[in-house]
Amino acid sequence: MKDIKLLVPDLPESISTAILLKWKKKCGEFVKLDEILVEIETDKIILEISAPIAGILHKKIFLEGELVKSKDILGIIQNSNNQIILKEKNKPVIIKSIQKNLKQSKKLKLHNITHLSPSNRRLQRFHELHNNKNRNLNLKEISKNTKNISNINHFSKNLDFKKNENNSYQLNLSIKSHNDNIQKIPMSPIRKKIAERLSLTQKNSVMLTTFNEVNMSSIIKIKNKYCDFFQEKYNIRLGYMSFFVKAVIEALKKFPILNSSKEKDTIIYHKFYNISIAVSTSRGLLTPVLKNAQNMTMSDIEKKIKYFSKIGESGKLQFEDLQDGTFTITNGGIFGSLFSTPIINPPQVAILGMNNIQKRPIAIQDKIKIQPMMYLSLTYDHQIIDGQQSIKFLKYIVEILQDFSKIML
């Protein structure tokens, strides 16, 4: 019998620790080669760690919720050279000795808890009876051993039985009361990192936000006219974000200072345009990057954004997907935001905020007309960028969006 160590993979230098999110197998269970065995969560993504060999999960060194580092030993897998695997209908069947261990590992035991009140001990007997072979026991039979059936119903809702490593159940003494009005949940790694980065930005930059508004009627006409053609040719829906990415790139070419980054007392100018797109997921806000977006078509942009949204929700974004952005676009308008003051994504020096499109009366050639209007917000680091540059930059974006033919010229 040979022991194989299950290791945490190499993490990037910017990530010191990760949290063990979930074990997929229990101790004593058989694992296949390359079967996903553990999930760990960094401050950016979820990593899936697969079994390096086929064997039995013998030991777990780290448990769910604990912090791990690169090359930490997560657990031990036992590999037997004498292990016999039979095939039945193309499915592996484990030898009887292993099957016996698996059956034993599934047996449930309830620890004797002597410090509970009489009503809680009645509940304990209820669970012992419930886990026996006779699963047809009704409340009348149980009531012979209890004075008040309502106690069982009450405590069964509020007591929490947790399963231990030895596959037995033990009462979690943090009993939830039906009168509790609060719930305490630890911050996830990604939420901690977001808080850390936002605090760092507030501390190390002088942020100022300038606003403008854009008449979206021209973009809406183009979108409505070519949406079916675009969908049929590229198999992707034409959205607003690709228009904004194109407009931003043209504006960055004219005002390169907004495509720079700050490194201590140095300003780094980038001759490429890596546009970070803010994507909201159930785990938090992520900003995957459209690398070299100046070389992407509008269909390329829409497909990449859809891809980022899909894998971002599942937590399967790669580290390289989140690195090396030079400018960020965030769209709070999809949630109904009318105004926003977005926070810079360091080490970048500016971020553009899109907002909700609303029909409003505006003056066009001395006539009042109802037009679809959007407020734009540009937050920038005043240490690096002057107000004049930021205002002209945002105004140029507005001009492009209101006459998108400028892109071709």
Residues 46, 134 within the same domain? no
| Domain of residue 313, CATH code | 3.30.559.10
In a domain, 181, yes or no: no
**What is the DSSP-derived secondary structure letter of residue 70?**
T
* CA dihedral of residues 204, 210, 216, 218 (deg, nearest 10): -100
Q: Point out the domain boundary residue: 106, 131, 149.
A: 106
Of 130 and 333, the structure prediction assigns the larger pLDDT to: 333
Instruction: Out of 3, 324, 386, 403, pick the active-site residue.
Output: 386
Residues 102, 205 within the same domain? no
Residues 371, 319 within the same domain? yes
- CA 107 to mean position of chain CA atoms: 35
Q: Which domain holds residue 6?
A: 2-106
Residues 97, 122 within the same domain? no
SS3 204: helix
Q: 190: exposed, middle or buried (C-beta count within 10 Å: 0-12, 13-18, 19+)?
A: buried
Residues 99, 119 within the same domain? no
In a domain, 7, yes or no: yes
Residues 46-77 pLDDT 10s: 788 888 888 888 888 888 878 888 888 888 88
**Amino acid, single-letter form, for residue 49:** I
Q: What is the DSSP string of 206-265?
A: -EEEEEEEEETHHHHHHHHHHHHHHHHHHSS---SHHHHHHHHHHHHHH-GGGGEEEETT
In a domain, 14, yes or no: yes
Of 283 and 174, the structure prediction assigns the larger pLDDT to: 283
Residues 52, 126 within the same domain? no
Q: Point out the domain boundary residue: 106, 133, 149.
A: 106
Most confident option among 112-116, 258-262, 285-289: 258-262
Q: Give the mean model confidence (pLDDT) for residues 92-113.
A: 46
Residues 211, 274 within the same domain? yes
Please say if 130 is a catalytic residue: no
Residues 340, 233 within the same domain? yes
In a domain, 183, yes or no: no
Which of 159-163, 296-300, 401-405 is the least confident region?
A: 159-163
Average per-residue pLDDT for the chain: 78
Residues 197-224 pLDDT 10s: 778 778 888 999 999 999 999 999 999 9
Please say if 382 is a catalytic residue: yes
Instruction: Please give the pLDDT value at position 307.
Output: 92
Residues 144, 216 within the same domain? no
Residues 226, 331 within the same domain? yes
| Domain of residue 34, CATH code | 2.40.50.100
Domain count, the chain: 3
In a domain, 285, yes or no: yes
Instruction: Out of 58, 127, 270, 382, pick the active-site residue.
Output: 382
